Structure 1
Amino acid sequence: MEDLSDVFDIYAICACCKVAPTSEGTKNEPFSPRTFRGLGNKGTLPWKCNSVDMKYLRSVMTYVDESKYEKLKWKRERYLRMEASQGGGDNTSGGDNADKLQNVVVMGRSNWESIPKQYKPLPNRINVVLSKTLTKEDVKEKVFIIDSIDDLLLLLKKLKYYKCFIIGGAQVYRECLSRNLIKQIYFTRINGAYPCDVFFPEFDESQFRVTSVSEVYNSKGTTLDFLVYSK
């Protein structure tokens, strides 16, 4: 059985902080993989916007290598032909949706609405919003609106793109991880503890290994580094 995370090159990318102790006195375990799990608080980031992290996220999500696209395209078209031969789908190849090769970014409605108006849609990326309530009439910007992960897979079959990045929120991460649809996780560790009410989901860490750890940076009064988990 084909690994769809590899066929469609689907990645997760996120930043997480330590969680401030609750009133019950729960503490972060200093060496636990779950130490860094805070994603959000009251509809925004738990920490002050960090320019080092934002620059890193933007660079990862906008980088494409034109020379590698033909190989990716061949891999995806091979899968579609095999799927069609088994009666599981059509033989639609990647479309010419953009003049230049770009990455796809997929986000839930709350994430989309949290983006400042002047940055919508996220530039130099194909924006996809996952929502069961949002309609095209609600969104003036040029984005794709889907209502399920299954619809995302259908969309990826038809798009011309380099990589697909899942950028949140927690429920979108959770479903993609539970369905084994994530090839790698680009994970920023914000080394500070903050109140949080949204958390990165637990996942089977036996399926992933840390393949990259950056140097430690200091910004906005806290340290941070960047990990990559790979299957």
Structure 2
Amino acid sequence: SEGTKNEPFSPRTFRGLGNKGTLPWKCNSVDMKYLRSVTTYVDESKYEKLKWKRERYLRMEASQGGGDNTSGGDNTHGGDNADKLQNVVVMGRSSWESIPKQYKPLPNRINVVLSKTLTKEDVKEKVFIIDSIDDLLLLLKKLKYYKCFIIGGAQVYRECLSRNLIKQIYFTRINGAYPCDVFFPEFDESQFRVTSVSEV
């Protein structure tokens, strides 16, 4: 995130997210490894600083009427490393259901599924199930975690962007042209700048 920040961010040419309930392209092992590396990386020396920033932001959110009057949803979580500092990954129902069974829940991360229809009885894996972004904010106040990543789908991205909850965006460009019926939502691109570009 360091360096010059003078190039406007623009996702217009690579906004496709899905097609008919699945990835438009063949599952790319390199891309999946990159997702895993980004969403599992933790630097414990920076935890206290991140925690302080989050708490300050959540207090501001609560003072504006968000995050305090929620039920908490249907929650369950244990995980193999419940006491280890981890990142949170948040996804909608369709994104959760698109994950192959052998990879559920995403390992070494606190999995949160946002859905108004799923219950603990529907999801046997150890995850949190919540039904709103307000519930997410309430849950995050209770959890010890390093960073929170929103990993899909479009509706979850849209609501988080509209509430100014997204501070950094990771985009992966997939070479080729693919039919898509789900796209990353439009948003105020002037609020973001490209800070780094790398080959995956």
Distance 1:99 1:205, change over 3 A: same
Distance 1:97 1:76, change over 3 A: farther
For residues 169-207 of structure 1, what are the alpha-carbon distances to aligned partners after superposition, in whole Å with 9 as ceiling and x for unaligned? 010011111111100001101121111111111111001
Give 1:62's aligned residue. Answer: 40
Query: Which stretch of structure 1 is more off in the superposition, 111-120 or 74-83?
Result: 74-83
Distance 1:116 1:81, change over 3 A: closer
User: 1:76 deviation in Å?
Assistant: 3.6
Distance 1:110 1:158, change over 3 A: same
Task: Provide TM-score, normalisation by structure 2.
Answer: 0.82
Distance 1:45 1:29, change over 3 A: farther
| Aligned Cα root-mean-square deviation (Å) | 7.2
**Aligned residues of 1:83 and 1:90 also touching (Cα < 8 A):** no
For residues 132-188 of structure 1, what are the alpha-carbon distances to aligned partners after superposition, in whole Å with 9 as ceiling and x for unaligned? 011111111110000011110111111000000000001001111111110000110
**Aligned residues of 1:83 and 1:89 also touching (Cα < 8 A):** yes
Large movers: runs of 4+ above 6 Å: 23-32, 80-97
Give 2:164's aligned residue. Answer: 180
Query: Which stretch of structure 1 is more off in the superposition, 184-193 or 67-76?
Result: 67-76
Identity of counterpart residues, as a percentage?
Answer: 99
Distance 1:116 1:26, change over 3 A: farther
SS at match of 2:110: strand
Give 1:137's aligned residue. Answer: 121
**Aligned residues of 1:101 and 1:160 also touching (Cα < 8 A):** yes
SS at match of 1:211: coil
**Aligned residues of 1:98 and 1:160 also touching (Cα < 8 A):** no
User: 1:32 deviation in Å?
Assistant: 6.8
Residue-pair matches, total = 193
User: 1:61 deviation in Å?
Assistant: 0.3
Distance 1:85 1:40, change over 3 A: closer
Greater relative contact order structure (CA < 8 Å, 6+ sep): 2
Task: Provide TM-score, normalisation by structure 1.
Answer: 0.71
**Aligned residues of 2:16 and 2:180 also touching (Cα < 8 A):** yes
SS at match of 1:136: coil
